[in-house]
């Protein structure tokens, strides 16, 4: 939390607060932020508390609960499948997020300066985010298939051996990352675009007067002023990317005999949330599932703090 | 002469990558359209079909027979619209406070908000169902709307957006004019952050429209479900799923989203007339 | 177009108020379980015949309003959540065969069908299937819907070209052990370039285990996945890999479908319902297929049950409906509509099930699946089977797909099983 308090001090004059009168003076501010916290108290606190309680028990979802003490967490620490899923998630996240942010920013800057066909581009870049995930999975499954796939056809054409994309540990990760990049680049480009719109045009005017080229302008004006947006994109990508599951699930779901949560050969595409589903719903191990969920939560918090620090510190 | 040539070359350099991006983005969507025009047998047969087929109307007819498409669409509209409105109001208010004011406990409260944001959503589905069953909201749209009325994602986004979008001088000036907090919010902040609100609105609407896990669990009355839940009832086991109908349903369900997006996205780049000067 | 803040505000407020109030009002009237004439049945798409459901509604219309709901997504988790939440529990609930191990320990959530007179129907159903619906304490939870006898699907012409037996009877009789089946695979590979007998080794491993009467955890909560019956299945799967009769393709992918269509994967061991997948996946192979018995003995894959929950207010009525929906005539209809292979042997001789199937060259496939269904052995399914079979299935897949050393894979699987067994309180 200390990290978050480092955010640049906001505007309004923080006149020295006198404790007693203080809180009453700020009542309207507290009232304005209260809905979120009230809703959390009403609907979020009980589920969170319940799952914490659950993680200290054994429960099959229907029968009676059995006290398990810390054993679920002890097992979690020694569970190589869970650690494997953390590794998979982070690798897939990194493979997807960095290309995605780069492409999204480039797309946003281009969209911001393109004058014609804006509407068309906008809708087109929005399409990946709304297309049914079933359709996407079928399409990607066929594009990345070993013998009949388009990707391998292209690789063959330039003289590279074909890759068994959905059958090798790295192939699986790259395919999932490609799907995620495809799905979220346009979305993030629109976020960046909204951020670009807040940058006053007179700043660009001034830069041009000073004789700055487009690249200089980007690094001196656009990027620094886009930092809050970049921070937002990075943190949201971290929180959602580390909790990804539908992409690997639909992509690697093959024969009906297989668990849909296994994540392909060698669990190479099994993300943390897929592992949670496997424990909870395949094995009916609700207690352990809750412990896994708290493990996921810790990883997400840790990663978000790291990202926050990286973006906040640089150049500040 | 030179400048025209230059601008044309610039235009090509700009539009070529944008067009390639458009093609890549639109391709799976095109594929979904192709699938919706074939029968299930044709979709999974080998070799894959690349061009639209002739089964679209038949798929539409079967879809309307199988589920109450318009009834569930109405529910989805109701939920998505209500949630979007509430989220825009509550999130922008909270974000305005977090972005532009100082008060005791601010860091702590914002930290708490971010921590809540990071709690895995899957964690709460089962206990939340138990809770909703206790207060008797199970099966009603209220169970979807109220818990979603404010969210950490939107507050975080609007706070980041407002930081640069609302200039401090504006706020100071309005304060000198004697504007109170609500007036500042309504007359100074909101007009400036319209693009940010449009973004939040679009994606809140979209998120609600496509939300599936929670509605599937909480809407127990089959005659009163959202569109995504209705569509999921088309999924069967062991190859009995008719993907032609599923894809047709998924595509028809996109139409309201595309309308919302087309209208909302104009707000995001609405002020481009000003920007064009710099272009 | 610009949206005015005031307009948005007004529209939004009106909408929200309407929904919230409407929701609250109806929220108060939400019933628990069924009321009066209303009876709710939960199943999944394709889980019952649409015709039979429709006929049942009409038939019992004078006494109940039967409301049949198809539940999408994760069926079992939705049912479990609903029972735990104690609201809107269906009166009649479909239970998938593979989930039975999870329901049976919680038999107290369901009505014991024996108390409703189920015993008198017992002789009409496959006995192993009947027993699958009964919990350890004797409570009868599930009434049999369908079963999934596994057989040997093969392409007639390809087998003939490879010099293998090609008439269904000959295939059944001559490829009746795993050794002979594997030999046939080797011969196929020699005579037909690039052809493989099976898609992956997982199907060998899975089917060999399922042929037997033991699984991974026994009734005394003891791990038996390290015993002979599993080791043998493992060894056979590894042998199939070493003799190069399995492909490195993934089932259900375009690559696999194209290989099947080209006759390079002319054979599969699969359940009765898989004929739908084959017909949908490679329609161009129509007429080329035949079905024979699989080596050694048949196994079962899939098949489900209907149950009556404790929330049901009129169990007698519900049971009457179930017993009618699942009688031999209606089960035959289920086979026609949804490929649900009947658990009532009397259905097999009915005219609907004796139709020659042009996709299988005019063969009457019931002649294979019917006898197969009657030869399946009962096995005890533990609630811990899924968790404790997963590591072994994962590792055999690693051997097949990633080329992992079988010895290392087996010892990895066993050490993981030991860890999971300890965690779940299963003795090792």
At A214, the pLDDT band (50, 70, 90 cuts) reads confident
Which candidate, C230, C217, C213, places its Cα nearest to that of C410?
C230
**Cross-chain CB nearest to C72 (options B89, B135, B232):** B232
Task: Dig out the tokens for A118 from the structure.
Answer: 């804006």
The DSSP letter of residue B210 is: H
- Please tell me the predicted confidence (pLDDT) of residue A1: 35
| Close Cβ partners of C166 (under 8 Å, ≥ 6 residues apart) | C156, C157, C159, C160, C290
Prediction pTM value: 0.85
Q: Which of B127, B151, B153, B260 to mutate to test the interface with A (most CBs of A within 10 A)?
A: B127
Instruction: Sort out which chain B residues have CB atoms less than 8 A from C81's CB and list them.
Output: 125-126, 129, 217
Task: Look at B21 and A107 and tell me if their CB atoms are within 8 Å.
Answer: yes
> Could you tell me whether strands C38-43 and C92-96 are parallel, antiparallel, or unpaired per DSSP bridges?
parallel
How many residues are recorded in chain B?
A: 279
pLDDT under 70 in chain B at which residues?
1-7, 40-41, 43-48, 222, 235-241, 269-279
Chain A residue with the nearest C-alpha to that of B99: A10
How far apart are alpha carbons B278 and A214 in whole angstroms?
A: 12
Lowest mean pLDDT among A23-32, A133-142, A224-233, B57-66: A133-142
Q: Are A147 and A201 in contact (CB under 8 A)?
A: no
Tell me how close the Cα of A274 comes to any Cα of chain C, in angstroms: 14
| Close Cβ partners of C223 (under 8 Å, ≥ 6 residues apart) | C216, C217, C388, C417, C421, C426, C427, C428
Task: Look at B124 and A123 and tell me if their CB atoms are within 8 Å.
Answer: no
Interface size between B and C, measured as CB pairs under 8 A: 162
Task: Look at A265 and C401 and tell me if their CB atoms are within 8 Å.
Answer: yes
CA Rg, chain A, in Å?
24
Per the model's pLDDT, the better-predicted residue between A214 and C120 turns out to be: C120
- Please tell me the predicted confidence (pLDDT) of residue B3: 52
In degrees, rounded to 5, the angle at the alpha carbon of residue B259 between the alpha carbons of residues B257 and B264 is 95
**Cross-chain CB nearest to C277 (options B141, B143, B239):** B239
Task: Dig out the tokens for C233 from the structure.
Answer: 């299945």
Residue reference for tokens 């950490």:
B152
At A110, the pLDDT band (50, 70, 90 cuts) reads confident
Q: Are B86 and B80 in contact (CB under 8 A)?
A: no
- Please tell me the predicted confidence (pLDDT) of residue A280: 85
Interface size between A and B, measured as CB pairs under 8 A: 281
Segment C123-136 shows an average pLDDT of: 95
Q: Are C392 and C232 in contact (CB under 8 A)?
A: no
Could you please report the per-residue DSSP string of C87-99?
SS--SEEEEEGGG
**Cross-chain CB nearest to B94 (options A1, A33, A236):** A33
What are the backbone angles phi and psi of residue C419, rounded to the nearest 5°? -65, -45
List the domains of chain B with CATH numbers: 67-233 (1.10.3720.10)
Q: Where are the domains of chain A?
A: 79-132+162-313
Kindly report, residue by residue over C180-235, the tens digit of the pLDDT.
Answer: 999 999 999 999 989 999 999 998 999 999 999 999 999 999 999 999 999 999 99
- Residue C83: pLDDT above 90? no
Domain A79-132+162-313 = CATH 3.20.10.10:
no
Which residues 147-176 of B have a C-beta within 8 angstroms of A?
147, 149-153, 155-157, 160-161, 163-165, 168, 171-172
At C34, the pLDDT band (50, 70, 90 cuts) reads very low
Task: Look at C252 and A255 and tell me if their CB atoms are within 8 Å.
Answer: yes
- Please tell me the predicted confidence (pLDDT) of residue B44: 64
Reported as type and span, the H/E element at residue C342 is: strand C341-342
Tell me how close the Cα of C319 comes to any Cα of chain B, in angstroms: 23
At A125, the pLDDT band (50, 70, 90 cuts) reads confident
Interface contact B221, partner C, CB < 8 A: yes
CA distances to A147, B147, B169, C237, C400 from C248, rounded to whole Å, are 11, 48, 67, 14, 7
- Please tell me the predicted confidence (pLDDT) of residue C143: 98
Bond into B47 cis (ω within 30): yes
Tell me how close the Cα of C388 comes to any Cα of chain B, in angstroms: 24
Chain C residue with the nearest C-alpha to that of A71: C423
Per the model's pLDDT, the better-predicted residue between B222 and C134 turns out to be: C134
Domain C38-147+302-358 = CATH 3.60.21.10:
no
Instruction: Sort out which chain A residues have CB atoms less than 8 A from C102's CB and list them.
Output: 60-62, 284
At C280, the pLDDT band (50, 70, 90 cuts) reads confident
- Please tell me the predicted confidence (pLDDT) of residue A3: 39
Q: What is the ipTM of this complex?
A: 0.84
Segment A124-138 shows an average pLDDT of: 79
**Cross-chain CB nearest to A198 (options B153, B164, B237):** B164
- Please tell me the predicted confidence (pLDDT) of residue B99: 94
How far apart are alpha carbons C8 and C3 in whole angstroms?
A: 7
Kindly report, residue by residue over A1-12, the tens digit of the pLDDT.
Answer: 333 434 444 444
- Please tell me the predicted confidence (pLDDT) of residue B210: 84
Which candidate, A117, A185, A128, A115, places its Cα nearest to that of B19?
A117
Which candidate, A179, A201, A187, places its Cα nearest to that of A229?
A187
Q: Where are the domains of chain C?
A: 38-147+302-358, 150-300+366-424
Domain C150-300+366-424 = CATH 3.20.20.70:
no
- Please tell me the predicted confidence (pLDDT) of residue B266: 77
User: Are the folds of C38-147+302-358 and C150-300+366-424 the same?
Assistant: yes
Task: Dig out the tokens for A204 from the structure.
Answer: 């660009």
Q: Are A248 and A270 in contact (CB under 8 A)?
A: yes
**Cross-chain CB nearest to C402 (options A58, A147, A266):** A266
């Amino acid at each position: 939390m200390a990290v978050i308090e480092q955010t640049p001090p906001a505007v309004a004059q923080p006149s020295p607060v006198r404790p007693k009168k203080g809180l009453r003076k700020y009542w309207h501010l507290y009232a304005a932020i209260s809905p979120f916290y009230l809703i959390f108290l009403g609907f979020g606190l009980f589920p969170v508390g319940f799952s914490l309680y659950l993680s200290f028990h054994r429960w099959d979802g229907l029968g009676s609960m059995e006290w398990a003490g810390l054993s679920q967490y002890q097992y979690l620490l020694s569970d190589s499948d869970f650690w494997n899923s953390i590794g998979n998630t982070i690798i897939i996240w990194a493979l997807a997020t960095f290309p995605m942010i780069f492409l999204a920013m480039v797309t946003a800057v281009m969209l911001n300066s393109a004058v014609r066909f804006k509407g068309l581009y906008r809708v087109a870049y929005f399409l990946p985010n709304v297309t049914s995930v079933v359709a996407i999975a079928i399409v990607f499954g066929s594009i990345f298939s070993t013998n009949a796939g388009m990707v391998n056809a292209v690789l063959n054409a330039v003289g590279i051996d074909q890759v068994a994309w959905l059958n090798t540990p790295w192939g699986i990760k790259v395919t999932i990352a490609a799907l995620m990049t495809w799905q979220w680049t346009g979305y993030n480009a629109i976020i960046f675009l909204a951020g670009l719109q807040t940058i006053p045009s007179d700043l660009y005017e001034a830069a041009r007067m000073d004789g700055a080229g487009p690249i200089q302008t980007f690094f001196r004006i656009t990027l620094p002023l886009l930092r809050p947006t970049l921070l937002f994109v990075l943190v949201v990508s971290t929180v959602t990317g580390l909790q990804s599951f539908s992409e690997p699930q639909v992509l690697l779901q093959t024969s009906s005999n297989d668990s849909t949560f296994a994540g392909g050969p060698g669990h190479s595409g099994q993300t943390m949330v897929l592992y949670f589903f496997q424990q909870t719903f395949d094995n009916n191990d609700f207690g352990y599932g809750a412990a896994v969920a708290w493990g996921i939560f810790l990883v997400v918090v840790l990663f978000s703090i790291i990202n926050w620090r990286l973006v906040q510190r640089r150049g500040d | 002469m030179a400048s025209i040539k230059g601008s044309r070359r610039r235009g090509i350099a700009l539009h070529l990558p944008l067009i390639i991006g458009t093609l890549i983005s639109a391709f799976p969507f095109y594929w979904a359209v192709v699938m919706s025009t074939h029968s299930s047998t044709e979709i999974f047969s080998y070799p894959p079909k690349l061009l639209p087929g002739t089964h679209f109307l038949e798929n539409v007819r079967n879809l309307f027979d199988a589920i109450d498409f318009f009834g569930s669409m109405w529910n989805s509209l109701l939920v998505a619209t209500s949630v979007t409105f509430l989220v825009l109001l509550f999130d922008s208010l909270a974000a305005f406070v977090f972005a532009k004011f100082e008060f005791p406990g601010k860091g702590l409260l914002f930290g708490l908000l971010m921590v809540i944001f990071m709690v895995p959503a899957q964690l709460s589905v089962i206990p939340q169902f138990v809770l909703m069953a206790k207060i008797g909201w199970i099966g009603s749209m209220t169970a979807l709307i109220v818990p979603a009325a404010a969210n950490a994602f939107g507050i975080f986004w609007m706070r980041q957006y407002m930081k640069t979008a609302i200039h401090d001088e504006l706020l100071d000036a309005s304060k000198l004019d004697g504007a109170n907090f609500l007036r500042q919010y309504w007359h100074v902040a909101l007009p400036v952050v319209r693009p940010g609100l449009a973004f939040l609105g679009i994606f809140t609407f979209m998120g609600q429209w496509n939300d599936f896990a929670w509605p599937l669990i909480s809407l127990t009355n089959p005659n009163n479900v959202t569109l995504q839940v209705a569509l999921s009832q088309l999924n069967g086991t062991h190859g009995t799923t008719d993907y032609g109908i599923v894809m047709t349903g998924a595509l028809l369900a996109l139409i309201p989203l595309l309308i919302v997006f087309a209208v909302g996205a104009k707000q995001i780049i609405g002020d481009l007339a000003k920007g064009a000067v710099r272009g | 177009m610009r949206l005015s803040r005031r307009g948005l505000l007004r529209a939004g407020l009106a909408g929200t108020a309407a929904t919230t109030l409407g929701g609250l009002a109806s929220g108060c009237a939400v019933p628990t379980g069924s009321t009066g004439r209303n009876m709710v049945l939960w199943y999944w798409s394709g889980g019952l015949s649409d015709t039979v459901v429709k006929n049942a509604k009409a038939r019992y219309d004078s006494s109940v309003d039967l409301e049949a709901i198809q539940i999408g997504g994760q069926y079992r988790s939705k049912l479990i959540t609903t029972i735990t939440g104690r609201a809107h529990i269906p009166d009649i609930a479909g239970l998938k065969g593979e989930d039975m191990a999870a329901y049976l320990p919680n038999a107290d959530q369901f009505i014991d069908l024996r108390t409703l007179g189920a015993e008198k129907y017992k002789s009409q159903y496959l006995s192993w299937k009947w027993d699958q619906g009964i919990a350890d304490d004797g409570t009868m939870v599930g009434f049999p819907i369908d079963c999934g006898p596994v057989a040997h699907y093969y392409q007639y012409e390809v087998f003939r070209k490879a010099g293998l037996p090609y008439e269904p009877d000959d295939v059944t009789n001559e490829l009746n052990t795993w050794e002979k089946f594997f030999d046939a695979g080797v011969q196929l590979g020699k005579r037909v370039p690039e052809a493989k007998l099976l898609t992956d080794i997982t199907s060998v491993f899975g089917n060999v285990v399922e042929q037997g009467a033991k699984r991974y955890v026994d009734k005394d909560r003891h791990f038996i996945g390290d015993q002979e019956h599993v080791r043998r299945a493992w060894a056979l799967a590894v042998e199939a890999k070493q003799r190069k009769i399995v492909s490195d393709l993934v089932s259900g992918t375009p690559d696999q479908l194209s290989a099947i269509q080209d006759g390079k994967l002319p054979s599969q061991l699969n359940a009765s319902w898989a004929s739908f997948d084959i017909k949908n996946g490679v329609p161009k192979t129509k007429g080329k297929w035949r079905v024979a018995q699989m080596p050694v003995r048949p196994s079962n894959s899939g098949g489900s049950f209907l149950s009556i929950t404790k929330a049901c207010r009129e169990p007698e009525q519900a049971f009457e409906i179930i017993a009618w929906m699942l009688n031999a005539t209606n089960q035959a209809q289920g086979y026609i509509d949804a490929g649900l292979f009947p658990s009532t042997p009397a259905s097999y001789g009915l005219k609907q099930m004796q139709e020659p199937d042009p996709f299988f060259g005019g063969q009457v496939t019931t002649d294979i699946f019917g006898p197969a269904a009657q030869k399946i052995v009962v096995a005890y399914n533990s609630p811990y089977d899924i968790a404790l079979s997963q590591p072994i299935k994962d590792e055999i897949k690693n051997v097949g797909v990633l080329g992992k050393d079988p010895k290392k894979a087996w010892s990895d699987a066993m050490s993981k099983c030991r860890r999971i067994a300890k965690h779940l309180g299963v003795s090792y």
